[in-house]
Structure 1
Amino acid sequence: MSAPLYRRIAQKIKEDISEGIWKDGEAIPTELHLSEQYQASRVTVRQAIKVLVEEGLLERIQGSGTYVKEQKIEHNIFDLLSFTEEMRQLGKEPVNKILNFQLIDPDDHVRKMLQLAEGEKVFYIRRQRLVDDVPYVVEDTYLPVSLFPNLSYGIMKKSKYDYIEKEVGKKIKESFQEVIPVLPSEDVAQALTVDESTPILKMQSYSVLVDGTVFEYSENHFKSDEYKFTLRAKRP
């Protein structure tokens, strides 16, 4: 038994979206246009659109129309993946743009998070993480010089975790993270290409090697319209 016509129309629209015929954020044709295209009544077309709205592929904007919903990057906080690893799993190739690279004396907060003695220096690196020329994340990272004396600008343009595990030979164990919604500072807003009044997601984290050494403290600023954080919980 064949599926109802509205289901078949919904499936065809899905295929058009997946093939890039209708792109993220793009308005779909009017109900009248779709009814002519699929030789169906506007009521049937409306049912098909309703299905796709409920599935999260389309969204209706009051007074404007119906659009292909922009899909956010889903980040599972239980998976310790670098941004590069996460994007490559999605078939995307990220680019790291270095906005700042300095050898500094850390402030008290960073020193405490990295469990450093007085006088120990750190590398401070700010990176703009881009995919398809769109900035997704602004990352501020602090790494102890004592652990990574050969760290360079060129290394930080690539995967930080690849460098630590494959070149330095240190095994990463886990990361402790806190995610909070904030309003961006002027410089972060500029790097993310958002307005200062637009809320973003800030993740503060420190990461640990298998021997218990804290090797990194980071503050990552995520565009809230590109990223969502998920937590998968199971009943005991």
Structure 2
Amino acid sequence: MARRPTKRVPRYREIATILRSELAEEVYSLGGLFPKELDLCERFQCSRFTIRNAMAELEAAGLVERRKATGTIVRALQPAGSYVQTINSVEGLLQYAKGTKLDILEMIELQTDSELAEWFDLEEGTRIIRFGGLRTETETGRQLCWTEIYIRPEFSELLNFIGKDDRPVYRIIEDEFDEKVHKVEVELSACGLTDKRATQLDVDDGTAALRVHRVFTASDGRVLEVSISDHPEDRHSYHLEFSYETLGS
């Protein structure tokens, strides 16, 4: 039987592999300018189309970022892996894994609009509190998402407890305010990051993101907490795993 010819690696991928290696070896400075397309064309003796395909691979891996006015910037020397949260219980759906922390950067007292009023089953214009902050990996400091937490006004002292230990917010409400979460609704959806959120997470305006929306409800039907977390597309994923025994318990 005749042997199949070895499939040749595309030229742009060969170039991308070389450039990845050079980034890992710190040939280029983090935050510095990456070589221009024309310079790379001359170096590798190839077309601009080939270089653009190679650069697209580096950009998709989060290694470089092309900016109109500045040029191509080195964003990372190694591909950044996304934060994977493995969930194998209902409890796991309610919180982030250990090894992350939430830093509260803003607290705003606002009046409910129609959407918030519906969430909390309150009249429009009712006073409510919103916390906002960045969740990061404790070890690396890498930003994972922007989180907004909406709570009832009677839980305003919650800020005194967040960040003091690794308890999730709903657990603090249970422990410190003598409440009990009876039901949790979790909704995953896609969204685009606005200019403000994109800046806070160090990504481009309009970057695709995974939105995790949680609603925590007491047994009497009162909504205790609503949280909305937006994760840039390459920084978080969920791995769900349930057994029949777990689901039935």
Write the mapping of 1:93-104 to structure 2, written as runs, cut at 5 A. Answer: 94-104=100-110
Cα distance change on mapping 1:173 and 1:72 into 2, 3 Å: same
CA distance in 1, matches of 2:159, 2:240: 34
Structure 1 SS opposite 2:93: coil
2:152 paired residue among 141, 144, 154: 144
Could you tell me which runs of 5 or more consecutive residues in structure 1 were left unpaired when the two chains were aligned: 1-25, 29-60
The CA deviation at 1:118 is 4.0
Q: Does residue 1:113 correspond to 2:119, yes or no?
A: yes
Cα distance change on mapping 1:71 and 1:124 into 2, 3 Å: closer
2:181 paired residue among 172, 191, 195: 172
The CA deviation at 1:105 is 0.6
Structure 2 SS opposite 1:162: helix
**Are the aligned partners of 1:96 and 1:129 in contact in 2 as well (CA < 8 Å)?**
yes
Q: Does residue 1:218 correspond to 2:227, yes or no?
A: yes
Cα distance change on mapping 1:201 and 1:172 into 2, 3 Å: same
Q: Which residue of 1 aligns with 2:81?
A: 70
Write the mapping of 1:122-201 to structure 2, written as runs, cut at 5 A. Answer: 122-131=128-137, 132-146=140-154, 148=155, 150-158=156-164, 159=167, 160-201=169-210
Structure 1 SS opposite 2:193: coil
The CA deviation at 1:120 is 2.5
CA distance in 2, matches of 1:104, 1:75: 35
**Are the aligned partners of 2:170 and 2:216 in contact in 1 as well (CA < 8 Å)?**
no
CA distance in 1, matches of 2:108, 2:161: 14
Q: Does residue 1:228 correspond to 2:237, yes or no?
A: yes
Once the two structures are superposed, residues 105-155 of structure 1 have per-residue CA deviations (whole angstroms, 9 ceiling, x without a partner) of: 111101101111344211111111111311111111111114x2x425333
What is the TM-score with the length of structure 2 in the denominator? 0.57
Write the mapping of 1:8-87 to structure 2, written as runs, cut at 5 A. Answer: 70=81, 72-76=83-87, 78=90, 79-83=92-96, 86=97
Could you tell me which runs of 5 or more consecutive residues in structure 2 were left unpaired when the two chains were aligned: 1-22, 26-56, 62-77
The alignment-based identity, stated in percent, is 19
Cα distance change on mapping 1:233 and 1:163 into 2, 3 Å: closer
- Give the RMSD, CA atoms, in angstroms: 3.0
Once the two structures are superposed, residues 178-223 of structure 1 have per-residue CA deviations (whole angstroms, 9 ceiling, x without a partner) of: 2112210011111222222421111222111234321112221013
Once the two structures are superposed, residues 24-83 of structure 1 have per-residue CA deviations (whole angstroms, 9 ceiling, x without a partner) of: xx859xxxxxxxxxxxxxxxxxxxxxxxxxxxxxxxx69x9xx77725322539433323
CA distance in 1, matches of 2:102, 2:194: 20
**Are the aligned partners of 1:101 and 1:126 in contact in 2 as well (CA < 8 Å)?**
yes
What is the TM-score with the length of structure 1 in the denominator? 0.60
CA distance in 2, matches of 1:101, 1:197: 25
Structure 2 SS opposite 1:170: coil
Q: Which residue of 2 aligns with 1:56?
A: none
